[in-house]
Homo-oligomer: A and B are copies of this chain.
Amino acid sequence: MKQVSYGTTAKPNNRARYAKHIIAVTSGKGGVGKSTVSVNLSIALAQLGHRVGLLDADVYGPDTPRMLQIENERVQWSDHNQMIPSENFGIKIMSVGLTTPTPDTPLVWRSSVAVSALMQFLEETAWGELDFLVIDMPPGTGDIQLTMAEELPITAAIIVTTPQQISLDDVSRAIMMLKETGIRIGGLVENMSYFIAPDTGAEYAIFGEGGGKYTATKYNIPLLGKVPLTMGIRKGSDRGRPSVALGSEDEKNYFRDIAKSLLVEIGID
């Protein structure tokens, strides 16, 4: 883990000291289920007794408010001029999606503005003391990712991918970036591993097979878990009913097992 330096002013790697651990959920490519993993992992950690905040840093596609059934909430300010995070399913949430006038207001922001907004969410939100700050990162390897890597003492990154070759290409680039910036990779999550037909229970490897395991082996990082594509998980995301809280036992266990594997990886029991 990175050493936090307790300087007198804001320094690189010195933000968000209210959180004991910072977990960055990343992906090479969008649309692989990064937000679904972020949301369900955060809730799973809370179910295990931890105090959890979820920062939705995907400023151009802030999907977590809908996934957590808080899409109609708007950010409130405290007497101390701090933003008050929303709460649901036992976690605190801050997202740019809670700050726009309507859900379809686009953020036509230069990246410098986006980075400033995220810094404000990190520093001017009344998170309280947290065991885990989970950050749902934007996909790719651009300004936001670079700045977060420089300014935050990230405990570990989790990389989400599908088994599809095209997604694995992009995830390889994300892994190389994390290695270059010195961020520890907590592990890989393979999402949409296979589709389970709701009528017959048949499994279809829509996006191919074995890609997650192959990539984990190639880059020597742990495979934290595999999550199938089920109608239940997809509807849960669309309807604000996170699977780890309100899904079937199987669906709950996919995400709980990932949370437990992560805790083992970073040495917390």
Q: Which residues of A contact B (CB under 8 A)?
A: 28-32, 35, 60-61, 63, 66-67, 103-111, 114, 138-143, 146, 162, 164-167, 169-170, 172-177, 180-181, 195, 197-200, 202, 204, 206-208, 229, 231, 234-235, 237-239
Q: State whether A234 touches B108 (Cβ < 8 A).
A: no
CB distance from A71 to the nearest CB of B (A): 8
Q: Which of B104, B109, B169, B202 contacts A63 (CB 8 A)?
A: B169
Copies per complex of this chain? 2
CB distance from A159 to the nearest CB of B (A): 12
CA distance A28 to B104 in the complex (A): 11
CA distance A207 to B36 in the complex (A): 14
Chain B residue at smallest Cβ distance from A58:
B140
**Residue among A29, A32, A105, A108 with the highest chain B CB neighbour number at 10 A:** A108
Q: State whether B60 touches A176 (Cβ < 8 A).
A: no
Q: State whether B204 touches A146 (Cβ < 8 A).
A: no
Q: State whether B106 touches A166 (Cβ < 8 A).
A: no
Q: State whether B173 touches A106 (Cβ < 8 A).
A: yes
CA distance A57 to B149 in the complex (A): 24
CA distance A239 to B208 in the complex (A): 12
Q: State whether A173 touches B238 (Cβ < 8 A).
A: no
17 sample A-B contacts, Cβ–Cβ < 8 Å, listed by A number:
A30-B32, A31-B167, A60-B140, A60-B173, A61-B173, A66-B169, A104-B169, A105-B173, A107-B173, A108-B180, A109-B141, A111-B111, A142-B142, A199-B202, A200-B200, A206-B231, A208-B234
Q: State whether A108 touches B141 (Cβ < 8 A).
A: yes
Q: Which of B28, B140, B146, B174 contacts A110 (CB 8 A)?
A: B146
CA distance A31 to B168 in the complex (A): 12
CA distance A108 to B61 in the complex (A): 21
Q: Which residues of B lie under 8 Å from residue A207 when comparing CB positions? A: 234
Q: State whether A142 touches B109 (Cβ < 8 A).
A: yes
Chain B residue at smallest Cβ distance from A235:
B208
The 5 A-B pairs of least Cβ separation, nearest first, read A31-B31, A30-B30, A60-B140, A104-B172, A106-B173
